[in-house]
Amino acid sequence: VFNNDCDVNFTDKKFVISGKNSKVNYTYAVPEMISVPPEDGIDMNEWDCTVDVSEEEMSSLLKAMGVLQLSGLRFLSENGKLTISVADMENDTADSYVFEPEHFTVSDDFDLFIRKDNLKLMGGMDYEVSLSTQQLSKFVTKPKEDDQPKIEYLVAVETQKE
Protein backbone atom coordinates (compact mmCIF):
# COMPACT_ATOMS: atom_id res chain seq x y z
CA VAL A 1 0.00 0.00 0.00
CA PHE A 2 2.69 2.51 0.95
CA ASN A 3 4.37 3.18 -2.37
CA ASN A 4 4.10 5.70 -5.17
CA ASP A 5 1.22 3.85 -6.86
CA CYS A 6 -1.47 4.48 -4.29
CA ASP A 7 -4.60 6.60 -4.05
CA VAL A 8 -5.54 8.70 -1.03
CA ASN A 9 -9.21 9.53 -0.50
CA PHE A 10 -10.51 11.81 2.26
CA THR A 11 -14.03 11.45 3.67
CA ASP A 12 -15.83 13.09 6.59
CA LYS A 13 -14.77 10.41 9.11
CA LYS A 14 -11.57 8.88 7.71
CA PHE A 15 -9.05 8.81 4.92
CA VAL A 16 -8.21 5.73 2.90
CA ILE A 17 -4.93 4.81 1.24
CA SER A 18 -5.56 2.25 -1.50
CA GLY A 19 -2.98 0.19 -3.36
CA LYS A 20 -3.13 -2.57 -5.92
CA ASN A 21 -4.33 -5.35 -3.58
CA SER A 22 -4.82 -3.62 -0.24
CA LYS A 23 -6.02 -0.54 1.56
CA VAL A 24 -5.60 1.17 4.91
CA ASN A 25 -8.35 3.10 6.71
CA TYR A 26 -7.31 5.88 9.11
CA THR A 27 -10.20 7.13 11.23
CA TYR A 28 -10.02 10.74 12.39
CA ALA A 29 -9.86 11.37 16.13
CA VAL A 30 -12.68 13.23 17.80
CA PRO A 31 -11.48 16.64 19.06
CA GLU A 32 -12.04 15.60 22.70
CA MET A 33 -9.37 12.90 22.32
CA ILE A 34 -6.64 15.34 21.34
CA SER A 35 -4.58 16.83 24.14
CA VAL A 36 -3.28 20.29 23.49
CA PRO A 37 -0.78 22.23 25.57
CA PRO A 38 -2.01 25.20 27.57
CA GLU A 39 -2.28 28.43 25.57
CA ASP A 40 0.42 30.07 27.67
CA GLY A 41 2.71 27.05 27.31
CA ILE A 42 4.44 25.03 30.02
CA ASP A 43 7.19 26.57 32.09
CA MET A 44 9.98 24.01 31.80
CA ASN A 45 11.86 25.67 34.67
CA GLU A 46 9.17 25.21 37.31
CA TRP A 47 8.48 21.71 38.57
CA ASP A 48 6.17 20.63 41.40
CA CYS A 49 8.54 17.85 42.43
CA THR A 50 12.08 16.66 41.80
CA VAL A 51 13.18 13.23 43.02
CA ASP A 52 16.33 11.13 42.62
CA VAL A 53 15.64 7.52 41.63
CA SER A 54 18.62 5.17 41.54
CA GLU A 55 19.15 2.41 38.99
CA GLU A 56 18.24 -0.18 41.65
CA GLU A 57 15.09 1.67 42.72
CA MET A 58 13.91 2.14 39.11
CA SER A 59 14.62 -1.50 38.38
CA SER A 60 12.57 -2.58 41.42
CA LEU A 61 9.65 -0.36 40.37
CA LEU A 62 9.68 -1.69 36.79
CA LYS A 63 10.00 -5.32 37.94
CA ALA A 64 7.12 -4.89 40.40
CA MET A 65 5.03 -3.38 37.61
CA GLY A 66 5.61 -6.50 35.51
CA VAL A 67 5.12 -9.03 38.29
CA LEU A 68 1.93 -7.38 39.60
CA GLN A 69 0.77 -6.60 36.04
CA LEU A 70 -0.10 -3.02 36.89
CA SER A 71 -0.49 -0.13 34.51
CA GLY A 72 1.97 2.48 35.73
CA LEU A 73 3.70 4.61 38.35
CA ARG A 74 1.81 6.78 40.82
CA PHE A 75 3.56 9.78 42.37
CA LEU A 76 1.71 10.94 45.48
CA SER A 77 2.72 14.01 47.48
CA GLU A 78 0.88 14.62 50.74
CA ASN A 79 1.97 16.96 53.53
CA GLY A 80 5.56 17.17 52.30
CA LYS A 81 5.96 13.39 51.95
CA LEU A 82 6.43 11.66 48.59
CA THR A 83 5.67 8.07 47.64
CA ILE A 84 6.18 6.37 44.30
CA SER A 85 4.05 3.31 43.80
CA VAL A 86 3.32 0.78 41.12
CA ALA A 87 -0.42 1.06 40.71
CA ASP A 88 -3.48 0.69 38.53
CA MET A 89 -5.11 4.05 37.82
CA GLU A 90 -8.56 2.49 37.30
CA ASN A 91 -8.53 0.13 40.30
CA ASP A 92 -7.78 1.50 43.77
CA THR A 93 -8.03 -1.99 45.29
CA ALA A 94 -5.39 -3.55 43.00
CA ASP A 95 -2.13 -4.89 44.42
CA SER A 96 0.59 -2.29 44.77
CA TYR A 97 4.28 -1.77 45.48
CA VAL A 98 5.20 1.41 47.34
CA PHE A 99 8.59 3.10 47.46
CA GLU A 100 9.47 6.09 49.67
CA PRO A 101 12.39 7.99 48.16
CA GLU A 102 14.94 9.69 50.41
CA HIS A 103 16.01 12.62 48.22
CA PHE A 104 13.22 14.82 46.84
CA THR A 105 11.70 18.28 46.86
CA VAL A 106 7.98 19.00 46.56
CA SER A 107 6.16 22.31 46.36
CA ASP A 108 2.57 21.14 46.84
CA ASP A 109 0.30 18.12 47.25
CA PHE A 110 -0.48 16.18 44.06
CA ASP A 111 -1.48 12.76 42.77
CA LEU A 112 0.06 12.01 39.36
CA PHE A 113 0.24 8.88 37.21
CA ILE A 114 2.58 7.80 34.41
CA ARG A 115 1.39 4.92 32.26
CA LYS A 116 3.72 1.97 31.74
CA ASP A 117 3.39 2.36 27.95
CA ASN A 118 4.96 5.83 28.23
CA LEU A 119 7.98 4.65 30.22
CA LYS A 120 10.52 3.74 27.57
CA LEU A 121 13.69 4.53 29.50
CA MET A 122 17.27 3.40 29.15
CA GLY A 123 18.03 0.78 31.77
CA GLY A 124 21.03 0.73 34.06
CA MET A 125 20.88 4.45 34.83
CA ASP A 126 20.16 6.66 37.82
CA TYR A 127 17.53 9.33 37.11
CA GLU A 128 16.54 12.74 38.33
CA VAL A 129 12.77 12.86 37.84
CA SER A 130 10.91 16.17 37.69
CA LEU A 131 7.11 16.27 37.77
CA SER A 132 4.61 18.96 36.88
CA THR A 133 0.90 19.06 37.58
CA GLN A 134 0.68 20.51 34.05
CA GLN A 135 0.81 16.86 32.90
CA LEU A 136 4.49 16.60 32.12
CA SER A 137 7.49 14.84 33.62
CA LYS A 138 11.17 14.90 32.81
CA PHE A 139 13.53 11.98 33.39
CA VAL A 140 17.21 12.96 33.15
CA THR A 141 19.92 10.32 33.40
CA LYS A 142 22.70 10.84 35.91
CA PRO A 143 25.81 9.54 34.11
CA LYS A 144 28.15 7.38 36.16
CA GLU A 145 31.14 8.18 33.95
CA ASP A 146 32.34 11.59 32.75
CA ASP A 147 32.18 10.52 29.10
CA GLN A 148 28.53 9.38 29.29
CA PRO A 149 26.03 11.90 27.90
CA LYS A 150 22.96 13.00 29.85
CA ILE A 151 19.77 11.74 28.25
CA GLU A 152 16.54 13.64 28.81
CA TYR A 153 13.07 12.12 28.36
CA LEU A 154 9.84 14.11 28.48
CA VAL A 155 6.97 11.83 29.50
CA ALA A 156 3.23 12.51 29.67
CA VAL A 157 1.64 12.57 33.12
CA GLU A 158 -2.01 12.09 34.02
CA THR A 159 -3.78 13.34 37.09
CA GLN A 160 -4.95 10.53 39.33
CA LYS A 161 -8.73 10.06 39.31
CA GLU A 162 -10.64 11.45 42.28
Alpha carbons 112 and 158: distance in angstroms, whole number = 6
Contact between 132 and 42 (Cβ < 8 Å): yes
Written as tens digits, the pLDDT of the chain (162 aa) is: 566 778 889 999 898 888 888 888 989 888 777 766 667 766 677 899 999 999 999 999 999 999 999 999 999 999 999 999 999 988 888 898 999 999 999 998 999 999 999 988 888 899 999 999 888 999 999 988 888 888 999 999 988 654
Q: Which residues contact 136 (CB under 8 A, 6 or more apart)?
A: 42, 154, 155, 156, 157
Residue 44 is classified by DSSP as T
Q: Enter the pTM of the model.
A: 0.73
Q: Which residues contact 92 (CB under 8 A, 6 or more apart)?
A: none
